[in-house]
Each structure stands twice: as structure tokens, then as C-alpha cells.
Amino acid sequence: MLGPNRYGKAETRLVRVHRDGDTHGLVDLNVSIALSGDLSATHLTGDNSGVLPTDTMKNTVYAFAKQHGVGEPEEFALLLARHFVRTQGQVDSARVSVESFGWDRLGPHSFQRRGDHTRTTVVTVTRDATQVVSGITGLVLMNTTASEFHGFVRDRYTTLPETTDRILATAVDAKWRHLSDEADWGKSFQGAVDAMTTAFVNTYSFSLQQTLMSMGTLVLSGRPEIAEIRLTLPNKHHYLVDLSVFNLENENEVFIAGDRPYGLIEGTVTRDDVPPATTEWYL
């Protein structure tokens, strides 16, 4: 028996240059499309009469970039997803995921790629509903103090010492679901990122879990268009180096930056009585 399924074109790389005289604009996206619906025939008998080629999906991305331009990633994803549901009768749901890579302007037509984070968008359009999820990945943050960790459970395998002064570092992976499919997407994105970084800076942390809650709460309090936010925070451990063998004291100054293993803290902060999501959104 055939269960849930979907198919599409993954990671179509798109660079769109908007030319306004001598001043150019630059958009750099990675676009993935997945369609689902009445597709049982191709699975069960090889009948492809209801299958839109994935190559066509790729071509649609490029054609739409020319015909409509590319602004905010949410807008472009909505345009694509609605197109596939509207034009393909066998398609019940279109999911468009976008990674947006930032570039800083150096001149009228010169740019420098930003490497501090990647903006993300996942839009799902069905016959009955539309869901927009925005996000960010790879936002690396660090506090060199104002973080403690003690009072935790101990058993026979616990060796971690308690601390009242530690480095707290993480690489934020956050996704937030919007209450509607209309918003000032750029302002909303920047406002959410600003709230997360502000909360990280200003929270005296006794655990990364506490910091996660502070970050999510500040996003929701300042962005009424956001229904809920899912945060994934790896704990980027920094270990104090033992310098006593060199007759030197290490007063929380010299550390080893750990790679793996690492702690992983995940949680969702949501509004009371928030409308349910139309589809799974934080995976």
C-alpha cells in the first residue's frame, strides 16, 4: 500500500541581478520544490500522465525570476507554490523551501558575500490553506561571561564540574511560523533576529534552556505576526586549558573551543490559543 509521498526539484541555485542603471541589486537563492497529490499511478504502474517533470520546476524558477523579479524569499516562494497548485489539477500541496544568501554592497555593482548566517523560508500551499515559515541558520553568538551552570543532576557517571562563570556560545537555528501569508517579510525577519540577539545578550543565563526561552519570548512579544518559534541551540563548549603544568594561572582567559560532542537544546515558544499549523513546520 502506498503511503504519503511527494516529489520535486531540490536545490535549484538562482542568482538574480536587478539592473537599475549603473546600480545593481543582487539576490542569491537556493530553491527546493516538492509537490504532493494524486500521484499513485506513477508509483504503482509507472503511468507518468500526472507527473510534472522536475526539470519543468527548475525552469519555472528561472522563468519566474525573470518575469516577476525576486524580492523577499517569502514572496518568491509563495508565487511559485501558488502557481503549481493552481495550474496542476493533480497537485494538492506545494512546498517551496528557500535558502537566501546575503551579500553586502561594496559599490554600485560590487558585493561581498556575508558568511554570518543564512536566511530560510518554507512555504506550503494547499487547496485550503497557506503556511509561511521563516527562519535563520548558522547565527553564531557568544557571551564570554554572565553564564552559570550548577545544581544539575549527578549520578555515578557525572564528572562535569559546576561553574558560576563560563563561556556560553551557540549557533542559532530558528524557524518561526507566521499567522498569515501577508507581512512585511523583510522587517519581520530583521525584527525577529534582532529580538533573539538582544535576548541572548541581556539574559544572565543559568542554563541554555533559560536563554532559549528568553529568546523566543522576546521574539513573540515584539512580533505580533509570528505565531510560534522553534529554536535549536547547540551548546558550543569551551573548555578551560590547564596551564598549571607551566606554572601559570588560567583565570577564565584561555580556552579550547570544543567541536564534538556538544549539547543540543531544542524548544518551541508559542502563543496561548495559537491557531494550529496546517502542516508540520519545524522539521
Q: Would you please indicate which residues are annotated as catalytic (active-site) residues?
A: 9, 54, 237
Q: State the Cα angle at 165 between 164 and 170, rounded to 5°.
A: 115
Cβ atoms of 6 and 36 within 8 Å: the answer is yes
Say how far residue 69 (Cα) sits from the centre of its chain. 23
Record the cell numbers describing residue 78, joined without a space: 509563495
List, as own/partner pairs, every contact residues 146-152 make where C-beta atoms lie below 8 angstroms and the sequence separation is at least 24, other chains included: 146/203, 146/204, 146/205, 147/204, 147/205, 147/206, 148/205, 148/206, 149/206, 149/207, 150/206
- Single-letter amino acid code for the residue at 31: V
In one-letter notation, the amino acid at residue 237 is H
What's the Rg (C-alpha) of the chain? Answer: 23
Pairwise CA distance, residues 274 & 121, whole Å: 20
